[in-house]
Structure 1
Amino acid sequence: MTAATCVALMIPLAAAIFEHGAGIVTPLVFALGLAVLWPLVFARMRRQPMGWDGIVTALIFVLLLPGPVPLWQQGLALSFGLVMGDLIFGGRGRGFLNPAVVGLAFLLFSFPGTASETPGPTVAIAAGVGGALLLALGLLSWRVVVGFGFGIAGLMALLPVPEDWVALHSASLVLGLVFLIGDPVAAACTNGGRLLYGGLAGALVVVLGQTGGGTGTLKTLVFAALLASIFAPLIDQIVITANIRGRARRQGNG
């Protein structure tokens, strides 16, 4: 799973290097160093084998990094995301949040003056290709994608400003859907729950976008992904309870 996700991330990452040049290399190397350091520290403390899932977190973090960020801010935010969003729970698959989302949310919340740059159309297309690869491999649920589409389109249709539809073509929106909202660890687990989770994330993108951040901006995507993932366990519980009651009702009628 980690290797396939890394391959999917390499496509938009290569596009980002093509668009912005070698300036992304230093943050990338720095982030990869932290992605190895912190898992190694926790592996030594717990006397367990070291996991390499932090590499995925580092790649997502750098790819979505909002403009030129000082290395100390980047290191603080990424470290917070790796530790509090992943390693403190025991590693990948044991928590319920995407560590890249946690790190980016920490960065945007702690340093509100951080410039937010939207990646270009080349990155958006490349992210779509990476998302198609993850869909084909079953690492990105089509139910989350469909639910997200219905959620965002349903509320956008009710908005009085039709120009906001332009934001649907932003690279941040595509990247956020594929690598943040679509993360199988942070998303709901049940089939019905994935549809509802995607719909909630899409609706949150629209609602948060109307607070001044903009529908297709990184800040909106990050906080929508964070809030949706917090509610994902509750969504699964509601779906499971509804299925149990429905099955009991059918058996009782039978």
Structure 2
Amino acid sequence: MNLYRPFSVSSGSNAPYMRGFWSYERATWATLFCLIPPLVATLWENGGALFPALVLSVITVVGWQALFVARRKIPQRRGVLVSAVIFVVIAGGDAPLFPAVLGLSFGIILGELVFGGRGFSFLNPVVVALAFIIFAYPTITFSSPADWLTYASIPGAVFLIVSRLVSWRMLAGFVVSLIATSSLFGAVIDLGSLTQGYFLFIVIFLACDPATSACTNSGRWANGILSGFLVCVFTGSGGAANEVQPLIMAIFLGSIFAPLIDRIVVEINVFMRSRRNG
């Protein structure tokens, strides 16, 4: 399992995330604050039509968490609100209410709550929810996002990276792999799409999620490189890298391999140290 390592006890300036000040609750509120500009841009683009989806998404995630809290006595966490907001920004204006509720229920239950909550699962519930909708409702297409979504995502992305709540290594590995793979195999990816559409928002808030991506520094590079490569595989020749379907499927598979990547990195480090120390 990929435990929520950003808030484990550690010390030293080389730690992958800031320690001490950041608790789970503070990090959740910080992420919600970073999501306000993208949410406002999406609401502005869609008008009042998005409010029912937002309210229903919040009720869905809070309701399922309340049920699991009552039955399993697990801690109640506000991280489900982060999942609801991210889901609405990506799919709130495209998925009808019933498929949206069904997909989000599937994601929050099987992607998070059955494992004991955030930090104990290797999958992001929003990624699971969107993957479910993509497979179960193939006729649902995701339209272009709000024109200002990328610009609205930049302040939050900068804050999360500077505060070390998400790893720049994961982001760098993702982008470098995407560009290198598209050039190497002649899959003409529209690189202009990296500054448009859903790309920055999805990569920062889903691919770089510290609870479901690799925990080791070398593992983050490998996880990002693998995810970027998979985007090219799912996008194909001439596709745009900011489309929801290829990004979600790449992140989904990348998350599955993240614990294995960390395990390999740890075993290599142990082997190298044993060689050095005899």
Corresponding residue for residue 75 of structure 1: 101
Tell whether the 8 Å contact from 2:189 to 2:238 is kept in structure 1 after alignment: no
1:101-120 to structure 2, matched below 5 A, reads 101-120=127-146
Corresponding residue for residue 135 of structure 1: 161
Greater helix content: 1
Instruction: Kindly state the Cα deviation for residue 126 of structure 1 after the two structures are TM-superposed.
Output: 1.0
Instruction: Kindly state the Cα deviation for residue 80 of structure 1 after the two structures are TM-superposed.
Output: 0.4
List alignment gaps of at least 5 residues for structure 2. Answer: 1-26
CA RMSD for the aligned pairs?
A: 1.7
Distance 1:168 1:183, change over 3 A: same
Q: Distance in 1 between matches of 2:106 and 2:189?
A: 36
Instruction: Kindly state the Cα deviation for residue 67 of structure 1 after the two structures are TM-superposed.
Output: 4.1
159, 165, 169: which is aligned to 2:191? 165
SS at match of 1:64: helix
Tell whether the 8 Å contact from 1:205 to 1:215 is kept in structure 2 after alignment: yes
CA offset digits 1:206-229 (Å, max 9, x no partner): 111107874321001111110000
Work out the percentage of aligned pairs sharing the same amino acid. 38
Instruction: Give the total of aligned pairs.
Output: 252
Q: Distance in 2 between matches of 1:162 and 1:232?
A: 27
Q: Mean alpha-carbon deviation: is it higher for 197-206 or for 223-232?
A: 197-206
Tell whether the 8 Å contact from 1:147 to 1:197 is kept in structure 2 after alignment: yes
Distance 1:41 1:243, change over 3 A: same
Tell whether the 8 Å contact from 2:174 to 2:225 is kept in structure 1 after alignment: yes
Corresponding residue for residue 32 of structure 2: 6
Tell whether the 8 Å contact from 1:66 to 1:116 is kept in structure 2 after alignment: no
CA offset digits 1:88-126 (Å, max 9, x no partner): 000011111000000011011100000211214410111
Residue identity matched to 2:143? E
Corresponding residue for residue 40 of structure 1: 66
Tell whether the 8 Å contact from 1:27 to 1:71 is kept in structure 2 after alignment: yes
Q: Distance in 1 between matches of 2:189 and 2:250?
A: 21
List alignment gaps of at least 5 residues for structure 1. Answer: none
Tell whether the 8 Å contact from 1:208 to 1:224 is kept in structure 2 after alignment: yes
Instruction: Kindly state the Cα deviation for residue 162 of structure 1 after the two structures are TM-superposed.
Output: 4.5
**Residue 89 (structure 1) aligned with residue 119 (structure 2):** no
TM-score (norm: length of structure 1): 0.94
Instruction: Kindly state the Cα deviation for residue 159 of structure 1 after the two structures are TM-superposed.
Output: 4.6
Q: Mean alpha-carbon deviation: is it higher for 40-49 or for 212-221?
A: 212-221
Dislocated runs of 4+, deviation >6 Å: none
Residue identity matched to 2:199? L
Q: Mean alpha-carbon deviation: is it higher for 240-249 or for 222-231?
A: 240-249
88, 99, 114: which is aligned to 1:62? 88
Distance 1:63 1:18, change over 3 A: same
Instruction: Kindly state the Cα deviation for residue 133 of structure 1 after the two structures are TM-superposed.
Output: 1.4
Instruction: Kindly state the Cα deviation for residue 187 of structure 1 after the two structures are TM-superposed.
Output: 0.3
